[in-house]
Amino acid sequence: MNHGQEPNQEPQLSGNFAAYGSGADLNMKIPQADILRVLEGVSVAMKSPDGELPLIQQWLTLDNSSSADLMVSEWLSRIDSAGNESKPKHGHQPSDGHTRARLVARLTVGVAFLRQKSRHDQSATPDDLDFTWRMVYDALSNDKLPGPLCTAARSAQGFVAVALCSLVKDGKIEELFRLHAWLPDGQRGNKDFAIHSHQAWAQSWILAGEGRNRTFHVRSATNPVFATHNKYALRWSDTKGKSNATTSYKIHQTFSIVDKTEEMARATLARIDLHTKNMSYKISSASYHTSTVEPEVMHATLFFFDAQRGFTRDSNVLGPTQGDSFVQVRDTSSTNLITLANDINTLRFGNI
C-alpha cells in the first residue's frame, strides 16, 4: 500500500491526519522560540537553499499582538495559510521551492512536537509518534522535487542515519534529531567496536521492528590481564583525508575514525532490554551501550540527542586491546530515501 502523495499534487495535511496521528496531542502548545530554533536545525540538516530559511521564518513568526505560544494544530494551520498566500497564482503548479518549503516547515513542527514531549518528560503515545513520523515520511517520500530533501548515510554501528535537525555550535552537539534504520541487508557494523558511548543525553522512540539495547558497566583496568577492551577516541571529517578529521562534531560527515588510546577498560554486561514498536528509552551521556538488530530484520527509530540534559566532551568507543585505528566511510549513495520511507511506513502500519 502506498501512503505517499499523488503525483503533481500539493501535499495536504488534512488527508494525512485522517490516515495517521488523528489522536495525537495537537493541542499541546509550543513556544515560537522553540519552533524557530528547531527550524534552524532542520534547515541545516536539509541543506536549505538561499531564501528558504527566511521564508519559513516569516511564516512562523507571530505578530506582536499574538501569543508567543501556539498549539501544534495552530502552527500547522499557519503554515498552510502562509503557504497558500505565497503559492503561485492563476492556476499555476506550485514551484519546487514552494513545495519544499512547506515540507520543511511541517517537518519542523513534527520534530518540535516530539522534542517538546521529551523536554517535558511526557510519554509519546502511538498517535503522537504517528504524527511526527507522518511529517518525516512526507519529507522523505516526496517524489515531485528534483532531489531528496536530505541524505542517508551508513553509520559505524551499521544503521542508516538520516539527519532531520542538526544544531551544533563550535563543534559541540547541542541537539540532533535523526531517523535511524537498520536494513534487512545483513550490514550491522564492525562488532569489534560495537560498545560505544554518546557525548549527549539521548532518547529513542521505536517506529517499527524490534531491537535489543545492551548496557555495560565500564571501568578502567590497569592490568592487561583484566582488560576486555581499550578505549578509542572518536574523530569526524566532512572532507577527504585522515588529517582533516578532528574531535569537533561534523554535521555532514564523509567518514569517522576511532584512534586507540592507552587507556584499558573492563566492560561487563549490565542488562539487556528488548525494544519494540511505540516503546521509548533514554541513554545518559557517556554511558556505554550497544544496539543489536537481527541481520535479516528491519528496525527504525527516531533518535534525539539533547546536550541540555547531559553532555560529555570525551565520549569513547570500546575496541580490541590489540587493535588499531578504524575508519568508517559514510556511504551516502546506496540508500534510496523514498524506498526507505515507504518500507518503514509499511512496516509500521502494515501487518508485517
pLDDT tens digits for range 298-308: 999 999 999 99
Show the cell assigned to 108: 519542523
Q: What's the whole-number mean pLDDT along residues 201-222? A: 97
Report the percentage of the chain scoring pLDDT > 90: 66
pLDDT tens digits for range 36-45: 999 999 999 9
Q: Compute the distance between CA of residue 238 and CA of residue 225 in angstroms, rounded to an integer.
A: 38
Show the cell assigned to 253: 560527515
Contact 332, 148 (CB under 8 A): no
The distance from CA 51 to its chain's CA centroid, rounded to whole angstroms, is 24
Range with top average pLDDT, 105-119, 223-237, 247-261: 105-119
**Sign (positive/negative) of CA torsion 267, 265, 170, 248?**
negative
Domains of the chain: 13-149 (no CATH), 152-337 (2.60.120.10)
Residue 294 has pLDDT above 50, yes or no: yes
Give the model's pLDDT for residue 67.
Answer: 63
Q: What's the whole-number mean pLDDT along residues 221-232? A: 95
Q: Compute the distance between CA of residue 8 and CA of residue 37 in angstroms, rounded to an integer.
A: 31
**Sign (positive/negative) of CA torsion 301, 104, 116, 288?**
positive
Mean pLDDT of the chain: 88
Across the chain, how many H-helices and E-strands are there? 7, 15
What does each C-alpha distance from 70 to 58, 158, 297, 305 come to in angstroms? 15, 39, 40, 25
Higher pLDDT: 244 or 231? It is 231
Contact 55, 101 (CB under 8 A): yes
Q: Label residue 261 exposed, middle or buried (CB < 10 Å: 0-12, 13-18, 19+).
A: middle
Residue 181 has pLDDT above 70, yes or no: yes
Give the model's pLDDT for residue 16.
Answer: 44
Report the percentage of the chain scoring pLDDT > 70: 88
Higher pLDDT: 240 or 115? It is 115
Beta strands in the chain (DSSP E): 29-31, 69-71, 152-154, 160-169, 172-182, 196-197, 200-208, 211-220, 229-237, 255-275, 280-283, 288-292, 299-311, 316-319, 326-329
Q: What's the whole-number mean pLDDT along residues 10-33? A: 69
pLDDT tens digits for range 309-329: 999 988 899 999 998 888 888
Q: What's the whole-number mean pLDDT along residues 130-152? A: 91
Bridge partners (DSSP) of residue 258 are: 234, 326
* Residue 312: φ, ψ to 5°: -130, 120
